[in-house]
């Protein structure tokens, strides 16, 4: 069974797909250049193909097929930002060209611009609900922490194709992360039905981790690592379990191992940032949180940690702005209120600081009342 925590391997071939064309016997000089570019592309001489595509497009800038092929060649060479520019130019001429839009989404995905990839994939699915863009969108939602969207997207597909292990893995991951352990476990069992797998053990570990069974989670992650130490996410989750077990050096090493092969893993970046902040390595910690925020724009947890680093660096005004924004979105965030009180005191705004302290006392009292009320029932 071949499934993976990242959709990149499943869809890489789409970026490399190129379009051909037909020429009459007496081809023009520009047509000859384009034909040569396609031949170079198909033979694997990507650098030369890029040059020839550019030469052709200097003469015929409106050819969507050539523009798209240039984007595919650039993506193949790892020049994703340049590929995005070419795909967007092609879509300006043909906005309804779904293969080009899908390639644009893939280029955004590979450039770690996940939110932009989602926007393009959602437009593709408005007109065509093929399996590949659906699964890529599900993977993007997972990376953004949008578990409920994954569930809504894949549940109908899973019922229609119950033996699709890739769907089982993505949907099972979303269910477990959403706290729906029982239906998630059913999909884990399906994955393991055909034999032990790194993916199944990773999901089992995540389920145990969410249930605060840290010892059990460690064992599952160890089994997953033994089967496939390169599985995306496994070293990151192993690091989380190690941190809960009190093995901070081991956790840091595991997070770094994850990021060495998977630098755009949100959890590994965020968790490593917290460890580094605890060790007063503020510069590297900030880089980790900024990367985490880049992967999940507007993420409150990363924004809060960056606010704490601002405060630690003596940038009280920057910390104030971040914390006020967070509280505006979630007025019941006790930790943000506590930190904002500290910021106000640093800024000599005693009345505002006292007001935040009063809010904290009120919120804590309401929480205690809710707990006691639940116990009384």
Q: Which domains does the chain have, with CATH numbers?
A: 1-144 (1.25.40.10)
pLDDT tens for 308-359 read 999 999 999 999 999 999 999 999 999 999 999 999 999 999 999 999 999 9
Q: Is residue 101 packed enough to be buried (19+ CB in 10 Å), middle (13-18) or exposed (0-12)?
A: buried
pLDDT digits over 244-269, tens only?
Answer: 999 999 999 999 999 999 898 999 99
Residue 165, number of CB atoms within 10 A of its CB:
19
pLDDT at 26 over 80: no
Through-space distance between the first and last CA atoms of the chain, rounded to whole angstroms: 49
Label residue 22 by pLDDT band (50, 70, 90).
very low
CA contacts within 13 A on the Cβ side of 181: 9
Read off the pTM. Answer: 0.77
Contacts of residues 192-196 at CB distance under 8 Å and 24 or more positions apart, as own/partner, are 194/1, 194/165, 195/1, 196/223, 196/227
pLDDT of residue 364: 94
Strand extents, DSSP E, 238-373: none
HSE at residue 275, side-chain half, CA atoms within 13 A, is 22
Q: Over range 188-195, report the average pLDDT.
A: 85
CA dihedral 205, 287, 148, 10 (to 10 degrees): -70
User: What tens digit of pLDDT does each residue of 130-144 get?
Assistant: 999 999 999 999 999
CB 121 within 8 A of CB 136: yes
- pLDDT of 4 > 60? The answer is no
Of the listed ranges 155-164, 241-250, 282-291, 309-318, the least confidently predicted one is: 155-164
Residues counted in the chain = 377
Take residue 340 and report the two structure tokens written for it: 């904002």
Question: Which two structure tokens, joined as six digits, stand for 252?
Answer: 């840091």
Cβ(206)–Cβ(170) below 8 Å: no
- List of residues 6+ apart from 214 with CB closer than 8 A: 208, 241, 244, 245
* 85 pLDDT more than 70: yes
- Residues 171-189 have a mean pLDDT of 91
Other Cβ atoms closer than 10 A to 145: 17
For residue 99, pLDDT over 90 is answered with yes
CB 131 within 8 A of CB 14: no
Structure tokens given for 34: 């384009």
- Mean pLDDT in the chain? 89
Distance of CA 152 to the CA centre of its chain: 18
Burial of 174 (0-12, 13-18, 19+ CB in 10 A): buried
């Amino acid at each position: 069974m071949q499934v993976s925590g990242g959709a990149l391997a499943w869809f890489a071939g789409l970026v490399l797909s190129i379009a051909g064309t037909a020429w009459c016997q007496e081809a023009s000089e520009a047509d000859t250049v384009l034909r040569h570019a396609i031949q170079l592309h198909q033979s694997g001489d990507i650098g030369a193909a890029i040059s020839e595509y550019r030469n052709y497009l200097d003469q015929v800038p409106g050819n969507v097929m050539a523009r798209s092929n240039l984007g595919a060649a650039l993506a193949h060479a790892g020049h994703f930002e340049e590929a995005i520019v070419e795909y967007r130019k092609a879509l300006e001429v043909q906005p309804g060209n779904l293969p080009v839009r899908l390639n644009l989404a893939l280029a955004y995905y590979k450039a770690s611009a996940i939110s932009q990839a989602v926007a393009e994939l959602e437009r593709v699915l408005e007109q065509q609900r093929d399996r590949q863009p659906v699964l890529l969108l599900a993977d993007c939602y997972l990376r953004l922490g949008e578990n409920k969207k994954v569930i809504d997207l894949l549940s109908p597909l899973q019922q229609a194709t119950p033996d699709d292990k890739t769907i089982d893995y993505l949907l099972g991951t979303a269910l477990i992360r959403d706290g729906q352990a029982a239906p998630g476990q059913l999909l884990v069992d399906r994955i393991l039905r055909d034999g032990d797998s790194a993916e199944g053990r990773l999901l089992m570990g995540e389920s145990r981790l969410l249930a605060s069974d840290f010892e059990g989670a460690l064992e599952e992650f160890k089994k997953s690592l033994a089967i496939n130490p390169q599985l995306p996410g496994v070293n990151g989750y192993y690091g989380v379990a190690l941190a809960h077990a009190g093995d901070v050096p081991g956790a840091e090493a595991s997070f770094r191992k994850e990021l060495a092969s998977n630098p755009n893993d949100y959890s590994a970046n965020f968790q490593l940032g917290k460890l580094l902040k605890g060790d007063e390595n503020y510069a590297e910690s900030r880089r980790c949180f900024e990367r985490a925020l880049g992967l999940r724009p507007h993420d409150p947890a990363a924004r809060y940690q960056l606010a704490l680093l601002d405060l630690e660096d003596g940038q009280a005004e920057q910390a104030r702005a971040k914390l006020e924004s967070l509280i505006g979105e979630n007025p019941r965030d006790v930790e943000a209120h506590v930190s904002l009180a500290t910021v106000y005191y640093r800024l000599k705004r005693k009345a505002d600081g006292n007001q935040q302290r009063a809010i904290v006392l009120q919120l804590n009292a309401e929480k205690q009342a809710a707990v006691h009320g639940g116990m009384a029932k």
